[in-house]
């Protein structure tokens, strides 16, 4: 029995919200990832290039999904031509789903290969990369040429005799889903083993564990998509299970892109925390310098030279006149010529200017 129209409408709204939210988060996190790799750590890699390309593919996928939702929402009476056009959009979204998830696995594999040191770990990840990439391209080609002519690929949804059997289409989809699940759990469990053996502090391990747990959502999405995969044949028209399959298919690459990019942002978080601590420290220092000294507190006068009198007169008067053999007294002018200014800070806030004659020794005093 066909589900009520309001259920399809609610699921359509949910698909729209999930697609837009994940697309926005993907663009934000990938942009920050690129900034960190190029601006902070100065260590961009091929995994970053693959992730940027994955983001572009995911954007195309979401665009086709939104086109289908908006077109169905804007039409009251659906014609045969509109149904065919919608099936084409759905098939194009399926193609870009395959490309998005394939390049996402490639980006994740390249990222972990930069961290792995043990031979068995690198061999395992290289194997997963090769199998995922090769079968992903095979699944992509079978989807494009499922009916021979790519322009008629949407006919596979209605079971055309000119297309490959439905059993073959479903089998290739299930195998691709299984490969994705195995890759996702490998990319989740192996980093956990590395994390356990590392000497990171508990707080760092906890933050990375949260990111790994968030990444595991991608594997759950792959499993749920396989549960509803058969409903994408559209033999019985658009059903609630068809929309649920689309929701899980959108969540799988979207959460993977966000989680893998957030894992790269730890240097950015450290930089922000360091800048905040530095600013707070400077504010406290400035606030402390402006604290007045009360009458009940004792203050120590400390002297610090900040400037000297510019261009004093020559002290050697012997070149201009003969030395007077008689006893001479030191005039006030002589003292003024050799005077320097010293700034003393009483406590932490009260400035005091002290004039010190050259040659005198002034020891610290306490003022009550």
CATH number at 258 reads 1.20.1070
What confidence score (pLDDT) does residue 153 get?
A: 73
**How many domains in the chain?**
2
Residues 299, 262 share a domain: no
Has residue 283 been placed in a domain? Answer: no
Has residue 58 been placed in a domain? Answer: yes
Containing structural domain, residue 298 = 293-308+338-368
Has residue 26 been placed in a domain? Answer: yes
Strand ranges (E), the chain? 299-308, 339-346, 350-357, 366-367
User: What is the DSSP pairing of strand 299-308 with strand 350-357?
Assistant: unpaired
Asked which of 216, 250, 267 is the last residue of a domain, the reply is 267
Residues 181, 299 share a domain: no
Residues sharing a CB contact under 8 Å with residue 129, sequence separation 6 or more, in sequence order: 105, 106, 109, 110
Asked which of 218, 250, 267 is the last residue of a domain, the reply is 267
What confidence score (pLDDT) does residue 108 get?
A: 85
Residues 18, 166 share a domain: yes
Has residue 101 been placed in a domain? Answer: yes
pLDDT in tens, 269-289: 888 888 888 888 877 777 665
Has residue 85 been placed in a domain? Answer: yes
In this structure, are residues 303 and 342 in contact, taking their beta carbons and an 8 Å threshold?
yes
Has residue 51 been placed in a domain? Answer: yes
Residues 236, 97 share a domain: yes
Residues 208, 132 share a domain: yes
Burial (CB < 10 A; 0-12, 13-18, 19+), residue 179, is buried
Has residue 282 been placed in a domain? Answer: no
Residues 300, 247 share a domain: no
Question: Per residue in 122-133, is it b (16+ CB within 10 Å) or e — as a string?
Answer: eeebeebbeebe
Residues 126, 202 share a domain: yes
- Read off the pTM: 0.70
Distance CA 285, CA 301 (A): 19
Q: Is the dihedral of CA 133, 134, 135, 138 positive or negative?
A: positive
Distance CA 93, CA 99 (A): 10
Has residue 313 been placed in a domain? Answer: no
pLDDT in tens, 36-83: 999 888 888 898 999 999 999 999 999 999 998 888 776 655 566 666
Residues 302, 257 share a domain: no
Residues 155, 50 share a domain: yes
Residues 208, 164 share a domain: yes
Among 65-79, 244-258, 287-301, 337-351, which stretch is predicted with the lowest mean pLDDT? Answer: 337-351
Residues 297, 245 share a domain: no
Q: How many CB atoms lie within 10 A of CB 36?
A: 22
Residues 141, 13 share a domain: yes
Look at residue 325 and tell me whether its pLDDT is greater than 60.
no
């Amino acid at each position: 029995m066909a589900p009520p129209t309001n259920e399809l409408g609610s699921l359509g709204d949910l698909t729209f919200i999930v697609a837009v939210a994940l697309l926005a988060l993907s663009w934000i996190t990938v942009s920050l990832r690129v900034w960190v790799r190029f601006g902070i750590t100065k260590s961009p890699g091929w995994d970053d290039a693959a992730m940027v390309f994955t983001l572009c593919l995911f954007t195309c996928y979401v665009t086709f999904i939104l086109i289908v939702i908006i077109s169905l929402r804007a039409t009251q009476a659906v014609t045969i031509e509109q149904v065919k056009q919608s099936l084409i959009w759905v098939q194009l979204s399926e193609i870009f789903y395959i490309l998005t998830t394939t390049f996402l696995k490639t980006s994740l594999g390249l990222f972990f290969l930069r961290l792995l040191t043990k031979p068995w770990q690198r061999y395992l990840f290289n194997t997963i990369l090769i199998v995922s990439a090769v079968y992903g391209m095979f699944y992509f080609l079978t989807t494009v040429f499922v009916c021979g002519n790519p322009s008629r690929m949407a006919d596979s949804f209605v079971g055309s005799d000119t297309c490959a059997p439905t059993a073959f289409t479903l089998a290739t989809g299930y195998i691709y889903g299984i490969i994705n699940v195995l890759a996702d759990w490998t990319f989740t469990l192996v980093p956990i083993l590395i994390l356990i053996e590392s000497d990171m502090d508990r707080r760092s391990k906890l933050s990375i564990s949260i990111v790994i747990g968030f990444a595991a959502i991608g594997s759950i999405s792959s499993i749920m998509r396989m549960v509803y995969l058969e409903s994408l044949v559209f033999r019985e028209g658009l059903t609630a299970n068809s929309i649920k399959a689309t929701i899980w298919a959108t969540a799988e690459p979207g959460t993977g892109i966000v989680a893998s990019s957030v894992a790269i942002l730890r240097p950015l978080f450290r930089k922000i925390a360091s800048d905040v601590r530095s600013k707070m420290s400077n504010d406290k220092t400035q606030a402390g310098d402006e604290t007045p000294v009360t009458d009940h507190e004792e203050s120590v006068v400390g002297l610090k030279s900040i400037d000297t009198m510019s261009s004093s007169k020559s002290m050697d008067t012997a070149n201009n006149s003969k030395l007077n053999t008689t006893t001479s007294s030191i005039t006030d002018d002589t003292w003024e010529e050799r005077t320097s200014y010293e700034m003393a800070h009483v406590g932490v806030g009260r400035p005091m200017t002290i004039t010190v004659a050259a040659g005198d020794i002034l020891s610290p005093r306490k003022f009550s």
